Structure 1
């Protein structure tokens, strides 16, 4: 049988260049509104670099309503000049989203990137009635920003902060805020965090992770969070009654002092007999700090639970606890009717963990996936 000959058709460099130019022309001929929408997904530095493409692109980035600025590990002076130019544009037109990342890799910030400068930049965009603000600082910097206006911004809907130090708050007013993320943030008093969360009546998404307090006490005076849909918080931070409307609840122990022993950690188990019913909750992530039968009995409060994640197991079988475990009263309805996925992270293989897994797998009739790490 004769072999078939494969003929490769080469493309001349001139034709290739013409094809690329035609593609650029197609994009350039799009309306400004669509091009600006595309540029809004790019870091601001890349969006500005498109001004070098042609005259058509040169003034386009001036009309951006979203800025994503990241300070490099070097070049403080150039970044300072660039952000001042951006802020001049902010003064001339409304800006919806402003993201600022300060990546300082040494312990003494340069003279161009100081807390007072950052405060000046943030307040400049807040005065423009911005509705989305993200500020990311290095966690070890512990940057204290004086006179920040975003705690009383009427229009802001999304606020994400990392690496800040918050001194005593005297007044908080965030009537439009829907998303609040606090990561590696230090509060001198726990009551300041309590005041902050209580001042967000429309809050839908709450993340509190790796929070530090100068003086800590449980936050028992949180107002109603009736619109909350997702929450990720330390397992001991808030009373369960303020979270009863959520669909997704992630609880962690990342703020537990290392010198606390297993008996004290058990007191932090947030589920008790006076818990409310979580009628909307389908996804629960928590830390196993008690005997497994107590945890399984608490699943009755989550009648629609579909996904259970044990993010960590802090229960120690060798802790010397002599009290007998409470019996399993009954198979919780969510286990037999709705539970589809179980994820067990940081599995240590203790008797407590194995017994719980055996019980769940045996009684979960619609279970589809089990992951043990």
Structure 2
């Protein structure tokens, strides 16, 4: 086996070593004389302080890597710091060095808490295409210019001012994928008061809380996930999503009528996912469901002509939840699957499915081309 490995080219060996944490990659490259300098040409630096005895040894190792390595071909810098409070200044320098000197294309920094900031130079890097930060504190931004950035994931972030959020996004003109989870001082009380963001014309996928900002900047997306809070729909503040095919959110089931109105602005929607629909008291009597007066909604084009899947999580047999299922079952003409997720046991789910089909057949025409699944 060793003879076979020795026949591999240096380029292929460097590629294999790039999948290892940098410490292990260096150890592996010392196995034979020919490999001794391979680690200096790695395309990925993967540094994690959790595998070191103390932060001092980790700091020494990182500086040794920077001093001895060549890294003209480095593409990705991945840094995990569980003890970042012990060496905050060093981490700022490392991140800025990776962005501005090494000119990486992928920058991933993971911190344990949202109390750690970066040097502003990281946000004016012309080479970064993918930026993933966890546990970031953004207390100020003098300038944001990330002209090559296509993917940005910010998790557990904390912004001192809501305007900084808009400033950050407005400096990423080529952004295609966004996932943003954060807390912020001075959060707008409503969408109408939100700070505008420059149009993100290339954005195809966005995941964030709907309370954050005016949704107009995200009107080109194909995938939209409103997370971390319950969506309180307002058609007045919702743009038309001409490209949107998948929408995910949590809501209050009593807002179903307003949600249906908003779906008029999603003419091509094919997949609708409701993670949670809070309602009132559970319904235990079929007669109560059947006598429930459902409001008459104007059916959006996306539901009648395009919707293929509907997923409702945490289904608990509420009246208002049943209204949602009944409306989709009856009006979605090309629907293929309705999936209801419930925490009950397998036997109970089978019974719920049978009862649901019976109740749907009593109030609207049966669907032979649609599957009803209990997950």
TM interval, short-chain normalised:
0.7 to 0.9
- Matching residue of 2:64: 85
CA distance in 2 between partners of 1:308 and 1:180 (Å): 24
The match for 2:124 among 141, 144, 152 is: 152
| Cα deviation digits, residues 341-367 of structure 1 (max 9, x gap) | 222223343222121012213333331
Are the aligned partners of 1:291 and 1:315 in contact in 2 as well (CA < 8 Å)? no
1:125 correspondence with 2:98: yes
CA distance in 1 between partners of 2:261 and 2:322 (Å): 17
CA distance in 2 between partners of 1:24 and 1:94 (Å): 27
| Cα deviation digits, residues 116-164 of structure 1 (max 9, x gap) | 111011111122222211111002x61234x341111122111111112
> What SS does structure 2 have at the residue aligned with 1:149?
helix
What residue ranges of structure 1 are gaps of 5+ in the alignment?
1-22, 255-264, 319-323
| Cα deviation digits, residues 275-322 of structure 1 (max 9, x gap) | 33222211110121352122123222222222211122245579xxxx
**Size of the alignment, in residue pairs?**
324
Are the aligned partners of 1:239 and 1:270 in contact in 2 as well (CA < 8 Å)? no
Residue 220 and residue 361 in structure 1: after superposition, are their counterparts in 2 closer, same or farther (change >3 A)?
Answer: same
Question: Given the two structures, how large is their TM-score scaled by the length of structure 1?
Answer: 0.79
1 or 2, which has the higher helix percentage? 2
Residue 92 and residue 362 in structure 1: after superposition, are their counterparts in 2 closer, same or farther (change >3 A)?
Answer: closer
The match for 1:296 among 260, 283, 289 is: 260
1:54 correspondence with 2:23: no
How far 1:326 sits from its partner (Å)? Answer: 5.9
1:196 correspondence with 2:168: yes
Are the aligned partners of 1:336 and 1:363 in contact in 2 as well (CA < 8 Å)? yes
CA distance in 2 between partners of 1:343 and 1:45 (Å): 44
Question: Given the two structures, how large is their TM-score scaled by the length of structure 2?
Answer: 0.79
Matching of residues 270-309 of structure 1 within 5 Å: 270-273=233-236, 275-289=238-252, 290-309=254-273
1:100 correspondence with 2:79: yes
CA distance in 2 between partners of 1:353 and 1:134 (Å): 40
How far 1:62 sits from its partner (Å)? Answer: 1.4
- Matching residue of 1:241: 216
CA distance in 2 between partners of 1:102 and 1:273 (Å): 44
| Cα deviation digits, residues 22-67 of structure 1 (max 9, x gap) | x232233111222222222232233223124322332211110211
CA distance in 2 between partners of 1:50 and 1:91 (Å): 18
1:24 correspondence with 2:2: yes
| Cα deviation digits, residues 71-123 of structure 1 (max 9, x gap) | 1074222211221122224566242110101123xxx943xxx2111101111
Are the aligned partners of 2:274 and 2:312 in contact in 1 as well (CA < 8 Å)? yes
- Matching residue of 1:161: 133
Residue 329 and residue 202 in structure 1: after superposition, are their counterparts in 2 closer, same or farther (change >3 A)?
Answer: same
- Matching residue of 2:337: 368
Are the aligned partners of 1:311 and 1:344 in contact in 2 as well (CA < 8 Å)? yes
Residue 274 and residue 214 in structure 1: after superposition, are their counterparts in 2 closer, same or farther (change >3 A)?
Answer: closer
CA distance in 1 between partners of 2:80 and 2:321 (Å): 41
- Matching residue of 1:214: 185
Matching of residues 264-343 of structure 1 within 5 Å: 269-273=232-236, 275-289=238-252, 290-314=254-278, 327-330=296-299, 332-343=300-311
- Matching residue of 1:136: 110
Are the aligned partners of 2:150 and 2:175 in contact in 1 as well (CA < 8 Å)? yes
CA distance in 1 between partners of 2:7 and 2:312 (Å): 52
The match for 2:225 among 232, 240, 250 is: 250
- Matching residue of 2:351: none
1:69 correspondence with 2:47: yes
